[in-house]
Each structure stands twice: as C-alpha cells, then as structure tokens.
Amino acid sequence: MTPHARHSLLALLILTTPLAACAQQAEAPAPVATVAPAVAQSAAPQLVTGLPDFTQLVEQVGPGVVNVEATVGSRRSTQASEEADIPEIFRRMLPPGFQMPGPGQQGPQRRGTSMGSGFIISADGYVLTNHHVVDGADEVKVTLPDRRELTAKVVGSDQQYDVALLKVEAKGLPTVRIGNSASLKPGQWVVAIGSPLGLDHSVTAGIVSAVGRSASAEQRYVPFIQTDVAINQGNSGGPLLNTRGEVVGINSQIFSVSGGYMGISFAIPIDLAMGAVEQLKATGRVSRGQLGVQVGAVTSDAVKGFGLPDNRGALVNDVVAGSPAAKAGIGPGDVVRSVNGRAINDSSDLPPIIGAMAPGTKVTLSVLRDGKPRDISVTLSELDEGETMARSAPLAPDTPAAPVGRNALGIQSQALDADSRKQLGLESGDGVLVSRVESAAAREAGLSPGMVILQVGRNKVNSPAALDRELAGAKPGDTVMLLVRSRGVTRFLAVTVEKG
C-alpha cells in the first residue's frame, strides 16, 4: 500500500466516524422498561468481615516460642540410608545446608547442627518440638526470646508422631496456651511462629486447608492439619496457633519439589501431641493400640464387587496372624465402617483412631461383611513398630505351566508347594500361583504371572481347581474381587469379566 493510499484510508475513517455516530443516534431504539423480579431477593449475609490483626497474639505468645539447636555427631549408616529414601516431595524441614546422603553413601561422619523451633508448655522447663529436630543429637540447646541459652535434656521422643519432649533447668518460664485441635475447621485463620532459615521469631499466617490429612506413609497414625501458612526449613517444632493464641498444632512437614515453601504445609494436631507428652514424661516412649490389619480404600469397583452401599470405610486386605483382629474373626474383604460409633469414611481414618487408644482397650467395630452389617468386639494389643506383613519377591511360575482350562478371567494357575508357601508367609493350603494371564481386563487390573491369588471375594482358594470353581459363576460384565499377594503386599484387585 502506497503512502498516499494509507493517508486516504485514515481520512476515510475520520470522515465516517461522525456519520456513523449520527446514524446510531438517529436509529437508537426507545428505552425498554425494566421488569422487577416477581420475588425480591434479600441481601446475602456477610460471611467474611475484614482481615485480622495478629499483633496482640504475637506479643502474648512470642515469649513462649524458642529456638532449638541440636548438635549431631556421626549418624548410623542405616539411618542415613533411610533418610536417602525419603521422597523430596515430602522432605522434612531440615536446616539450611543439610545434605541427605545419596543411595549407598554413608551418613555424615563430621559433627553438624540441626536447627528448629519449639515452645514451652510448662513454667518449670518442659519444651515441645519435633522428633526429627533432635533425633540422634549428642547435645541440645534451647535459646529463649530473652537470649538465654540453656542446655536441654531429651526426656523422650517418638518417631511415628514426630514429637520430642525436652527439659531445661529453669523456673518461671513464659508458657503457651494449649488449644483443641479437634475443633479446627477448614477456612479458619492460623498463625505460625518459628525460626525459618535461622530467622528467629518469624511470624506467618494463613488458613486451615484441610484436617485429618494423611500426608505420609511413614506417619500413618497422624491425621495432619494441612495449612497454607508459609513454612520453611527451621520452622520444624514451632507452634501453629488459632486466633485466640492457643497452640493447635506443631509444624512438621512441607509439600515441596524444591525443599522450599509451595503453599502446602502440615502440622501435627496438638491433641495427639499432648497425649504423647504424658507418656513421654512417664516412660520416655509412646505406646499405641493395634488391630493387626492392613487396609485399603473402598473403590467404586470394590463397591460393585462386594455389593456395598457406598465407598465409605476401610477395606481389610490382610490380617496379621495372632493379632487382635485375627482373634476376633476379622478377615480380608471385611469393611470397617466405624470404631466405637466414630465413622470411618476413608481407609486413612482408621490407623490414627486405633493408634491413639491404649493397648488393652476394648473397642466395637462396625463391619460390613458380604454387604451385611455386624458389630465385632476387639481388645487392642500394643503396636510393635517392627512387626510387618510377610515380605518377599514374586514367585516365578514353573515352565511350562501345568495345563489348566481357561476360566472366566482367562487366568492360568498352578499349585504352590510347601516351601513356596513358607517363603510367602502363608498357611498350609493357602493360595494359588498365577502362571499366565490371557484376559486383557485382568492385565489392566494389575494381575500378572508370579502373583499369588488368596481369595475370590471372601472365599479362599488353594488350588487351580478351587480357583476355577470360584470363577465358574462369573458372567460377562461382572466385577470379581481377587485378593492377591505380590512383593509382600496383599490387596484386592477388581477384575471385570470380558464379554464373549
């Protein structure tokens, strides 16, 4: 386009604009009368008013918050290996500069310092912090807000709850008020005070994002408080406070892919921690109740396969031999719906409730079995942290596999001998080995050669013939629940019978 043409286009736009405006004005339609709604709606109530001012809270609570410094010597190589296995996505709030050893490396051989936070719970010198702040420490020092530095004794520590109780020799110390974490609700304001990255008495605020959160497999007995309060390395062991200045949690973990704050933080409920404190004072350790079950989620497939009314509860996948659950007759396929009337909505709800009870406590479990409710009385034993289900690699099927007719799920199987059952921790006559999977649906469900099928639904199988009998009535479109064991884990797989 020539310069002259460009100027002409500009002039045309300038000339036509007033004409267009006049035309619009001349042709503008008459105003239309608005019609009032038939029913006038009342104004919605104000649900949120203003932002809180935390200055008085910090002034009142701050004197009871302390810095905790733990001097750590050479660690055990086994511990170093365990730390190397912790996923970065759930890193502990370790102090700046701390490097976790890589796979196969030994733990640090030189002395180092672990920095964290804590708070004073009694005027005579009891201080609460995280277990991982003082774990393996040779010396622990507590620095008060008035800059006094006191040597602390570790009265007791518990890895599962990640709680440690310290004692300093002093009197008349400022204390914090202990609140009630059970009353916390998502959306409530909360405040954290601690020493992130070594910056003592830093204050951050946010809201409760969720309660009863299962944040890590290592701490399945802790129903974490999830918040969006900015928490970083060094905040470990510091208090999480409600707007009344009461401690409702102990800041413990962050969800991160970089080691820094990303908007998701976790705190240990103070109700749980204070229950541990009484035991730590008395015995230096924490004991927990145990059922002796391995549980999983009630999936939509499990609802169909077991004929359940909904997906609430904890599906029992495995039972420890000789445990309270085994003695009470609880078995794989049972669904625990409540404990002493307290609802179990998700499988992660069960361990914290049972773990918080004392060994020897008698509880009533509401259970669904074959879709029918029943109450079962169980007396809890003490949890043995070292007790686990049988652990083993999958067995290799014989080659060639014993010829077996095709069943509804397209599974070929073979009998287990006594040595194989012993290796898997099975009772005599339990289980059948999967040698071949021909059904695409079974493969998609996760079934593979080398797995052991223990049950079809709630019925045990101990031979290829028994497996085929249990599957004989399965029709196309049916969902069949198979209890399988592989690599030491026992769980139910839902397999849909293929059509034609």
From the candidates 114, 132, 195, 256, which is the catalytic residue? Answer: 132
Backbone angles phi, psi at 425, to 5 degrees: 75, 30
The whole-number average pLDDT for the span 107-115 is 60
Res 50: pLDDT: 81
Name the band, by pLDDT with cuts 50, 70 and 90, for residue 447: very high
Other Cβ atoms less than 10 A from the Cβ of 153: the count is: 11
Per residue in 199-248, pLDDT (tens digit) is 889 999 999 999 999 877 778 899 999 999 999 989 999 999 999 999 99
Residue of 399 and 426 predicted with greater confidence: 426
Which ranges in 221-318 belong to alpha helices (H)? 270-283, 300-306
Mean pLDDT of the chain: 82
Distance between CA 104 and CA 352 in Å, rounded? 33
From the candidates 162, 271, 318, 349, which is the catalytic residue? Answer: 162
Return the CATH number of 56-168, one of 3.30.1360.170, 2.30.40.10, 2.40.40.20, 2.40.10.10. Answer: 2.40.10.10
Instruction: Determine how β-strand 177-178 pairs with β-strand 489-496.
Output: unpaired
Q: Please determine, for residue 107, whether its predicted confidence score (pLDDT) is greater than 50.
A: no
Cis peptide upstream of residue 400 (ω within 30 degrees of 0): yes
Structure tokens at 90: 């759930």
- For tokens 């004072």, name the residue: 281
* Known catalytic residue at 132: yes
Structure tokens at 261: 């704050």
Res 280: pLDDT: 96
- Computed on alpha carbons and rounded to an integer, the radius of gyration of the chain in Å comes to 31
Q: What is the largest CA-CA distance in the chain?
A: 99
Burial of 430 (0-12, 13-18, 19+ CB in 10 A): middle
Burial of 17 (0-12, 13-18, 19+ CB in 10 A): exposed
Contact 191, 185 (CB under 8 A): no
**Amino acid in position 319:** V
Structure tokens at 378: 């169980």
Res 425: pLDDT: 78
317 CB-near residues (< 8 Å, 6+ apart): 293, 294, 295, 296, 332, 483, 490, 491, 492
**Amino acid in position 223:** P
Res 466: pLDDT: 92
**Domains 56-168 and 177-283 equal at CATH topology level:** yes
* Known catalytic residue at 157: no
The whole-number average pLDDT for the span 436-462 is 91
The whole-number average pLDDT for the span 172-184 is 95
Instruction: Determine how β-strand 202-213 pairs with β-strand 189-194.
Output: antiparallel
Per residue in 262-308, pLDDT (tens digit) is 889 999 999 999 999 999 999 999 999 999 999 999 999 999 999 99
Res 387: pLDDT: 52
Other Cβ atoms less than 10 A from the Cβ of 162: the count is: 27
Using DSSP, state whether 142 is helix, strand or coil: strand
Q: Please determine, for residue 73, whether its predicted confidence score (pLDDT) is greater than 50.
A: yes
Q: Please determine, for residue 20, whether its predicted confidence score (pLDDT) is greater than 50.
A: no
- For tokens 């014993």, name the residue: 402
Q: What is residue 45's DSSP assignment?
A: P
Q: Please determine, for residue 331, whether its predicted confidence score (pLDDT) is greater than 80.
A: yes
Residue of 83 and 346 predicted with greater confidence: 346
Other Cβ atoms less than 10 A from the Cβ of 60: the count is: 15
Res 38: pLDDT: 58
Distance between CA 316 and CA 333 in Å, rounded? 6
- Cα(first)–Cα(last) distance of the chain, in Å? 70
Q: Give the pTM.
A: 0.75
Residue of 139 and 388 predicted with greater confidence: 139
From the candidates 114, 117, 209, 236, which is the catalytic residue? Answer: 236
The whole-number average pLDDT for the span 179-188 is 95
Res 39: pLDDT: 64
Name the band, by pLDDT with cuts 50, 70 and 90, for residue 395: low
Contact 323, 289 (CB under 8 A): no
Name the band, by pLDDT with cuts 50, 70 and 90, for residue 15: very low
Res 30: pLDDT: 54
The whole-number average pLDDT for the span 55-83 is 75
Res 426: pLDDT: 82
Res 261: pLDDT: 78
Helix (H) or strand (E) run with residue 150 in it: strand 149-158
Q: What is residue 298's DSSP assignment?
A: -
Per residue in 359-392, pLDDT (tens digit) is 999 999 999 998 899 999 999 999 886 554 444 4
Res 204: pLDDT: 96
Strand pairing partners for 335? 315, 368
Name the band, by pLDDT with cuts 50, 70 and 90, for residue 489: confident
Segment among 70-79, 126-135, 201-210, 423-432 with least mean pLDDT: 70-79
Q: Is 443 left (phi over 0), alpha (psi -120 to 50) or beta?
A: alpha
Res 386: pLDDT: 57
Structure tokens at 117: 């936070």
DSSP letter string, 372-403: EEEEEEEE-EE--TT------PPPPPPSSPPP
Q: Please determine, for residue 16, whether its predicted confidence score (pLDDT) is greater than 50.
A: no
Distance between CA 188 and CA 237 in Å, rounded? 21
Q: Which CATH architecture has domain 289-382?
A: Roll (2.30)
The CATH class for the domain spanning 177-283 reads mainly beta
Burial of 487 (0-12, 13-18, 19+ CB in 10 A): exposed
Distance between CA 228 and CA 243 in Å, rounded? 15
Name the nearest CA neighbour of 267 among 119, 141, 51: 119
The whole-number average pLDDT for the span 108-137 is 86
Listed by start position, the domains of the chain span 56-168, 177-283, 289-382, 411-496
Whole-number percent of the chain with pLDDT over 90 = 60
Distance of CA 184 to the CA centre of its chain: 18
* Known catalytic residue at 323: no
Segment among 110-119, 204-213, 346-355, 397-406 with least mean pLDDT: 397-406
Task: Give the CATH fold of the 411-496 domain.
Answer: Pdz3 Domain (2.30.42)
Distance between CA 257 and CA 264 in Å, rounded? 11
Q: Is 201 left (phi over 0), alpha (psi -120 to 50) or beta?
A: left
Residue of 27 and 375 predicted with greater confidence: 375
